[in-house]
Amino acid sequence: MFQQTQVLPIQLSLFDDGQLRPSTIVNVASVKQLSPFRYPGGKTWLVPVVRDWLKARKEKIHEVIEPFAGGGIIGLTVAHEQLADHVTMIELDPDVAAVWHVILSKDFEWLAQRILDFDLTPENVNQAIASEARNTKERALQTILKNRTYHGGIMAPGSGQLKHGENGKGIASRWYPETLARRIRYIATLRDRITFLEADGLEYIERTAFRTDVAYFIDPPYTAPGKQAGNRLYRFHQLDHERLFDIATTFKGDFMMTYDNAESVQEMAEKRGFSISRVPMKGTHHKEVFELLVSPAQ
């Protein structure tokens, strides 16, 4: 069974900053961290693979569509490196969406400045997060504060603030205001190349499936049976995966889907004749972990 599965020659290692990244073959130094988020399930480590995928094409893709944008590192990289003429990023979570709305609007400087001016104490963070956001700008600031001070960057209901921090520095251990402001200001310069939509990614890809000039990068929330913790990574963690796979069969353009290595995913892919690659990752304690890349039938 599963004969189609190929193993990509990429070795991933756990680096000091807690991120998994390719350590051989792929040039890790070539990955620029552009996102202001530290996103659970973020795909910074996959950037070199996505870059190769888009560059290997005979004709440049007009548009990359990222229906489950989250921290948006793929879309941002595509815009930054002009791997396509345009990027459309879609995200359903209104808190995450607020950040993208503001950064890609004329209000980006307000957000950068508020981050630079914020006096990061547990009291100030709690107060800022507990108060009702009066507008999208305030909601964006609350989201960044949660994302940078909550354990693992997880903002889903039930997640909580760092106590001892991830390097003994308490809640400030992932708070880099100058870096965040710089990233926000840089993304704002890319805004002509990026469209952000607060919407249902599934509906969007279904409506655009007829387009031949697009490539979809699809990184859905996924929880393998038995992996309860995954449920709490995102507020919107439930998705009809069979429907997503069905929609993928109707794409006239290219796509790459990424999933955790679960048999149910392999089955959904094989049922539709898609190709599967397993990307090996070196996890903690030298346990090998794989991610699945699903692409059109070859």
Ligand X SMILES: C[S@@+](CC[C@H](N)C(=O)[O-])C[C@H]1O[C@@H](n2cnc3c(N)ncnc32)[C@H](O)[C@@H]1O
List residues near ligand X by CB under 6 A: 39, 41-43, 67-68, 70-74, 90-93, 96, 200-202, 219-221, 234, 236, 239
Least distance (Å) from ligand X to the CB of residue 67?
6
Least distance (Å) from ligand X to the CB of residue 137?
20
Unique residue bearing structure tokens 């229906």: 67
Q: By C-alpha distance, which of 90, 125, 40 is closest to 216?
A: 90
Q: Which is nearer to ligand X, 220 or 296 (CB)?
A: 220
Burial zone of 270 (CB within 10 Å; 0-12 exposed, 13-18 middle, 19+ buried): middle
257 CB-near residues (< 8 Å, 6+ apart): 216, 218, 219, 220, 244, 248, 293, 294, 295
Least distance (Å) from ligand X to the CB of residue 168?
26
Least distance (Å) from ligand X to the CB of residue 96?
6
189-193, Cβ contacts within 8 angstroms, sequence gap of 24 or more: 190/76, 190/79, 190/80, 191/104, 191/105, 193/79, 193/82, 193/85, 193/86, 193/87
Q: Whole-angstrom Cα distance, residue 64 to residue 261?
A: 24
Q: By C-alpha distance, which of 155, 162, 146 is closest to 234?
A: 155
Least distance (Å) from ligand X to the CB of residue 72?
6
Q: Which is nearer to ligand X, 95 or 110 (CB)?
A: 95
Least distance (Å) from ligand X to the CB of residue 205?
9
Handedness of CA 293, 296, 297, 298 (dihedral sign): negative
Cα 205 to chain centroid distance, Å, stands at 17
Q: Which is nearer to ligand X, 219 or 291 (CB)?
A: 219
Q: Which is nearer to ligand X, 48 or 71 (CB)?
A: 71
Q: Which is nearer to ligand X, 150 or 234 (CB)?
A: 234
Q: Which is nearer to ligand X, 158 or 168 (CB)?
A: 158
